[in-house]
Each structure stands twice: as C-alpha cells, then as structure tokens.
Amino acid sequence: MTAVSPDLLHRFDVPGPRYTSYPTADRFVEAFGQEDYVLALQERRSGALAKALPLSLYVHIPFCASLCYYCACNKIITRRHDRAEVYLRYLGREIDLHTAHCGVGQAVSQLHLGGGTPTFLSDAGLQELMRMLRRSFSLAPGGEYSIEVDPRTVDAGRLALLAQLGFNRLSLGVQDFDPQVQKAVHRVQPAEQVFALRESARALGFDSMNVDLIYGLPHQTPQSFERTLAQVTQLRSERIALYAYAHLPERFKSQRRIPLAALPSASDRVLMLARALEAFTDAGYVYVGMDHFALPSDALAVAKRQGRLHRNFQGYSTRPECDLVGLGVSAIGRVGATYSQNAKTLAEYCDFLDQGRLPVVRGLALTRDDLVRRAAIMALMCQGKLLFEPMEQAWLIDFRQYFAAELAQLEDMAQQGLLRVGAEGIEVSPTGWFLVRAIAMVFDRYLQADRNRARFSRII
C-alpha cells in the first residue's frame, strides 16, 4: 500500500462518492415522498422474505454543545438540553408512524445512533429513547448496537449506562491528538481523556471501539500526525476510521473559520496517508478497505476474510444487506428497492409530524439498471472482485455486453496495476484497494453522464 507512487496518487486524486449507497444521495428527487415510502414499508410488511430479514435502524441526534469547524454533518449547535427533550417526543411520533405501516415487533439486528452528538442526550433522554425503540421493535440478541461518542461528553459512569442500555460498540471522534490542531478546529480534548475512556470500555465489556481520525486538518504536518498515529496505535481500539478532510467552505459555513493557508499541502497529505497505512499495518491492523482498519480478531476483519463484508450509510458493515429505517432529522433509509430521506431542518421535520405525516421529503425508486450497477459497485467496494457468472445469473445479462463501455475504461486502470480483468471477472489489486472508489466510479452511470464532481470529497 505504501509503495503507491505519488504520480499514481495524483492521477486518481479526484472528487468521487464514498458509495454508502448507489445511486448516491445527491441523486434523490423530491418527486419521491411520504406516499412512496409508505408503499415500500407496506410491501415489506406483506413480503415473506422481507419479514424474515431483520431491520437495521439509524437514529439521528442533531444536537452539539459546541461547533467543530471541520464538520459537514447535519447538526444544531445549542446548550439548551430541553430542545433534546422536545426532539425525543417527535422521534416517538415518527417511530409510531413507522410501526403503523410496518408492524410492531419487527426484528432489529443493527442499531446506530449518529449525529450531531448522540451523547448530548441526558441519561434520562438516552433511557427514554431506548424504551421507545424496544417498545416498537425487537432488538435481537447478539445484534450490533453502536453509538457515536464525543469523549468530552462522557465518563466511566455514562459508559456504564450505555452498556446497561444494550450498546456494545462505541465510536469515538478523536480526529487528532495534537493540541494546536485541536484548537484550530475548535475541538480540544486531551489524549488522557480518550485513553481513560478506552480502559473503561474494556472493563465494561464493550465488543468493539472505533476511533475516527482525519488527515488534512489545519496545522497538521507529517511530523505532528506521526505523533498522533503513535498514540492511536497505543490506544489499540478494535477499529480505526481514517478520513480525508474535505475543505468545502462554499457548502459548509463552519469551514469558513479554517484559513486555507493553514491547511497542509497536497504532498503532505499524501505523506500523512502513506505513513498512516504503514503505521497501522505495522501495528497489526487489517486494511479493511477505503478508510477502515480493524484488528484481525474484530468482526469487521473477520467479515472481510470470509467475504461477508457489506456497505451501508454508516460505512462498512458485518451485517448482510437489509432494510434500513432512518429516524430523525435528515436520516436516510433504504427499504426494498427505494431510498428515502427525512427533512433536513428541525422546523420542517416537526411540521410533518404535527400533521401526522412521515417527514420524508425526497428519495428514489431504483430502476433495474440501478440495481444491477449497485450490485457491481458493492461487490468491488466490499469483496474487491466482481465475478461475471454470478452477475449474469442474478440479473440475466451478458456482462461483457452490458458493461462493454465500462470494461474499455478499466483497461487503463489495469495497465496502472489497479486491477486485473480475467476470464471469470474483475479483481482489484492491493494497490487498487487504495483507490477502489475510482474503480467503482467507472460503473456509476450517473457520474459518467455528469462530470461535475466538485460536490464530492477527493479520494485522497
């Protein structure tokens, strides 16, 4: 991985989707609304296969007590915790509307609380949220129940509460341990605080802890990031997510507080990424794909070895593809062959629910071509290979004919050593794994027709 040449990195360092879905969320349309989503829920309820498969739940908690300048998430900055109490009441209404259409007691094998800052909720608020979910859904034993945690908002006692509520996985936003970088992005949290939480999580028996890191932040240097990498490998979390900072101040107002001159150069970003790959590999982590690393014993690494890796709106997952119900402001769901997204503002979200309507404002009903291409893209992103015969049998196509233009585009990537096209299919090389987003983009019909990619983050 670290042998990738700077020329190759530069050539493929272009904006592109992360493919947590296909088609990507920017392709959702307002013509898809509540009625379409309700129909998808009802079809799930009446389908024998869908009823046999457990659901995945995502709950968006938008509140944060302070603003992190790099953040591109849907968030509401406030110190008024009473706003969260009101929000929980509206979440309860949305949950009730869902169960009215899909039935009470649907099995759930995966739950993720994201934000914003889910731990902005008080202890009583977290307890109430889990009561509402358990009242309406059946959380299966052995499921994956995770929550994003701001280390500044929890201590050992709160972690104990999370464990008591059934959470077995934590995701901590660290980003960088360097004090100057933390100050520049308005997120100061001493390393000692994170290490203490790690020890508490171990003692409480959490199955896994993920640490989020970002490279490309203001005042980062290869030398300063080297120190952060040493601390992170010492922390020994089961998973690490390493993201490239995407500076898009024209889209995200908070990023305007980050001076362009403070950002590291493109060559320094490449050095930081290359060193991170080397450091995590040397520390025994498995490179799962794109931006995820895991210890060999972690379920994510095991899923990759066994060919069971999947991808959803939260990134790589160990769970098979299943319907996803998104709850809360801006939450995205996937039910059957549809995607849906809730209103992005709190006022609009609450207004829909006051009317007794699900707050879906846009989405997409997938065409047959969308489904075929989604299967191809997810096979590349998750297994690193795309076999012709299974695709032909599943979708009744002649692969080489259906994807003739795409196979022609892949010839150059094959010459660059990113992949190999053989008689049985396409296989991504170890070097290609590093640039798998660029390979997947070849199969994206929407992106190929629309070359305006500035709305996406860069691959490197």
- Which secondary-structure segment (H or E) carries 326? strand 324-327
Q: Is residue 1 part of a domain?
A: no
Q: Is residue 331 part of a domain?
A: no
Q: Is 281 exposed, middle or buried (0-12, 13-18, 19+ CB in 10 A)?
A: middle
Residue 315 DSSP SS3 = strand
From 326, 358, 376, the end of a domain falls on: 326
**HSE, side-chain direction, 13 A CA sphere, residue 364:** 17
pLDDT score, position 2 = 43
Instruction: Tell me: do 273 and 412 sit in the same domain.
Output: no
- Cβ atoms of 209 and 198 within 8 Å: the answer is yes
- Cβ atoms of 324 and 335 within 8 Å: the answer is yes
Instruction: Tell me: do 139 and 245 sit in the same domain.
Output: yes
Largest CA distance in the chain: 62
Place of tokens 């060559």: 267
Cβ-proximal residues to 355 (8 Å cutoff; 6+ apart), any chain: none
Instruction: Tell me: do 318 and 372 sit in the same domain.
Output: no
Instruction: Tell me: do 131 and 212 sit in the same domain.
Output: yes
From 293, 326, 359, the end of a domain falls on: 326
Instruction: Tell me: do 227 and 313 sit in the same domain.
Output: yes
Partnered with residue 162 across adjacent β-strands are none
Instruction: Tell me: do 318 and 416 sit in the same domain.
Output: no
pLDDT score, position 456 = 65
Q: Is residue 114 part of a domain?
A: yes
Residue type, 370: D
Instruction: Tell me: do 268 and 378 sit in the same domain.
Output: no
Q: Is residue 8 part of a domain?
A: no
Q: Is residue 294 part of a domain?
A: yes
Instruction: Tell me: do 386 and 293 sit in the same domain.
Output: no
Assess whether the previous peptide bond of 23 is cis (omega < 30° from 0).
yes
Tens digit of each residue's pLDDT, the chain (460 residues)? 445 666 776 677 777 888 889 999 999 999 999 999 999 999 888 876 556 788 999 999 999 999 999 998 889 999 999 999 999 999 999 999 999 998 899 999 999 999 999 999 999 999 999 999 999 999 999 899 999 999 998 999 999 999 999 999 999 999 999 999 999 999 999 999 999 999 999 999 999 999 999 999 999 999 999 999 999 999 999 999 999 898 989 989 999 999 999 999 988 988 898 889 889 999 999 988 878 999 999 999 999 888 888 888 878 888 767 899 999 999 999 999 999 999 999 999 999 999 999 999 999 999 999 999 999 999 999 989 999 999 999 999 999 999 999 999 999 999 989 999 999 999 999 888 888 889 999 999 998 776 555 556 666 6
Report d(CA 302, CA 62) in Å as an integer: 32
Instruction: Tell me: do 307 and 212 sit in the same domain.
Output: yes
Q: How many CB atoms lie within 10 A of CB 194?
A: 21
Sign of the CA dihedral 173, 175, 180, 182? negative
420: containing domain? 367-451
pLDDT score, position 363 = 97
Report d(CA 184, CA 186) in Å as an integer: 6
Instruction: Tell me: do 243 and 121 sit in the same domain.
Output: yes
From 300, 326, 352, the end of a domain falls on: 326
Q: Is residue 166 part of a domain?
A: yes
pLDDT score, position 51 = 62
- Cβ atoms of 182 and 188 within 8 Å: the answer is yes
Q: How many CB atoms lie within 10 A of CB 195?
A: 14
Give the CATH number, domain containing residue 428: 1.10.10.920
Sign of the CA dihedral 318, 323, 328, 332? positive
Pairing type for strands 310-312 and 315-317 reads antiparallel
Give the CATH number, domain containing residue 248: 3.80.30.20
Report d(CA 398, CA 393) in Å as an integer: 9
Assess whether the previous peptide bond of 326 is cis (omega < 30° from 0).
no
Cα 285 to chain center, whole Å?
20
Place of tokens 């999370």: 162
Instruction: Tell me: do 418 and 290 sit in the same domain.
Output: no
pLDDT score, position 154 = 93
Residue type, 39: L
Q: Is residue 277 part of a domain?
A: yes
Instruction: Tell me: do 384 and 313 sit in the same domain.
Output: no
Q: Is residue 12 part of a domain?
A: no
Number of domains the chain is built from: 2
Report d(CA 248, CA 260) in Å as an integer: 10
Sign of the CA dihedral 273, 276, 277, 278? positive
